[in-house]
Amino acid sequence: MSGRLRNALHKIRDRGLTPRDLFSYGCIAGHRLLSGAWGTLMLRAKAGCLGITVGKGCECFGTVILSRWPGSRIELGDGVSIISSSRRCTSATIHAPTRLRTFAPTARIILEDGVSLNGTAITARSRTIRIGKGTMVAPNCVITDSDFHAMWPPETRLDTPAFERDADVTIGQHVWLGMRCIVLKGVTIGDGAIVAAGSVVTRDVPPATLVAGVPARVVRHLP
């Protein structure tokens, strides 16, 4: 018996694990392995067909919706992690698959190295949405650069796209967006900031601050 197997058996005995415990853990580990392998393969296949850049070490669990308008860019840096499976997601169920979509040749979605998404909807209609290195996006968040309709007069909302009102969104490095956040057009979120769950970000967020609420406001500065 190899030393590694002997050590594993000793750990099982010391922790008092039952056969059902082992089977349960085996299901978790097996699903993670298979879901990750298949999801990552499909991500790379879709990205290759659509002209989307995917960096080294990216992984994907579940299905991802990718839609790139001709001339636009969608780029995933090294080590990006995308979760679209409720089985794989740690903190909550995923309401819908992660979606990355552009609507105009000028649109850009840039995910820097180590970004993690969980059932995230990112829509760049005509401007740039950039998410910085190491940023974590919790389940079911929405990030967009547009209102998608003219605000006024009301009778023009259905047929006036108002592209001139679109604005870039920049999310800094090592930011943490809590569950069900909404980040609206024209917002810059500084490095290291935390956006509390359920917040709607309508204005810039200073670096190293905690913001919360609708609309999100600074609660405190982080150490």
| Local confidence pLDDT in tens for the 223 residues of the chain | 466 766 766 676 677 777 787 777 676 776 677 677 889 999 999 999 999 999 999 999 999 999 999 999 999 999 999 999 887 788 888 999 999 999 999 999 999 999 999 999 999 999 999 999 999 999 999 999 999 999 999 998 888 889 999 999 999 999 999 999 999 999 999 999 999 999 999 999 999 999 999 999 999 999 8
Q: What are the CA-CA distances from residue 54 to residues 77, 155, 200, 215 (Å)?
A: 6, 42, 29, 34
| CA distance linking residue 170 with residue 131, whole number of Å | 6
Active-site position among 31, 149, 174, 221: 149
pLDDT score recorded for residue 5: 61
The set of residues, in sequence order, having a beta carbon less than 8 Å from that of 118 and lying 6+ positions away, is 83, 89, 91, 92, 94, 98, 137, 138, 139, 140, 141
Three-state DSSP state, 190: coil
In this structure, what CATH number is given to the domain that contains residue 164? 2.160.10.10
| CA distance linking residue 197 with residue 208, whole number of Å | 17
Total domains in the chain come to: 1
pLDDT score recorded for residue 23: 76
pLDDT score recorded for residue 17: 72
Number of Cβ atoms within 10 Å of the Cβ of 178: 20
Q: Which helix (H) or strand (E) holds 20?
A: helix 19-50
The tokens describing 44, both together, are 């790379």
The neighbouring-strand residues paired with 99 are 65, 121
Please name the amino acid found at residue 40: T
Q: Are 136 and 181 in contact (CB under 8 A)?
A: no
pLDDT score recorded for residue 201: 98
| Residue 215 domain boundaries | 3-221
- Indicate left, alpha or beta for 30 from its phi (over 0: left) and psi (-120 to 50: alpha): alpha
pLDDT score recorded for residue 223: 84
Q: 10 an active-site residue?
A: no
| CA distance linking residue 198 with residue 66, whole number of Å | 25
